[in-house]
């Protein structure tokens, strides 16, 4: 399942606005920014430690 503010809000029975603001307050970036940074870190790790092409990695991670 996709990691979205709306989905997290449903899981925790909170409003999307509250979840978004709370997340940003805790990690100093939006959930979207956090996910992009995490995915880019995974790209870096896979490029350094596998034989996959950049295209394969990008497809696998949903870029």
pLDDT tens column, 36-53: 999 999 999 999 999 999
Does residue 1 have a pLDDT over 60?
no
Q: How far is CA 10 from the centre of its chain?
A: 17
How far is the C-alpha of 6 from the C-alpha of 22, rounded, in Å? 13
Does residue 63 have a pLDDT over 90?
no
The three-class DSSP label of residue 13 is coil
pLDDT (tens digit per residue) in 16-31: 999 999 999 999 999 9
2 backbone φψ class: left, alpha, beta (φ>0; ψ -120 to 50): beta
Does residue 6 have a pLDDT over 80?
yes
Is the CB of residue 17 less than 8 Å from the CB of residue 23? Answer: no
What pLDDT, on the 0 to 100 scale, is given for residue 15?
Answer: 97
How far is the C-alpha of 35 from the C-alpha of 50, rounded, in Å? 22
């Amino acid at each position: 399942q996709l990691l979205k503010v709306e989905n997290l809000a449903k899981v925790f029975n909170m409003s999307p606005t509250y979840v978004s603001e709370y997340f940003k307050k805790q990690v100093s970036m939006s959930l979207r920014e956090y996910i992009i940074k995490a995915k880019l870190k995974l790209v870096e790790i896979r490029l350094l430690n596998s034989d996959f092409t950049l295209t394969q990695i990008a497809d696998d991670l949903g870029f």
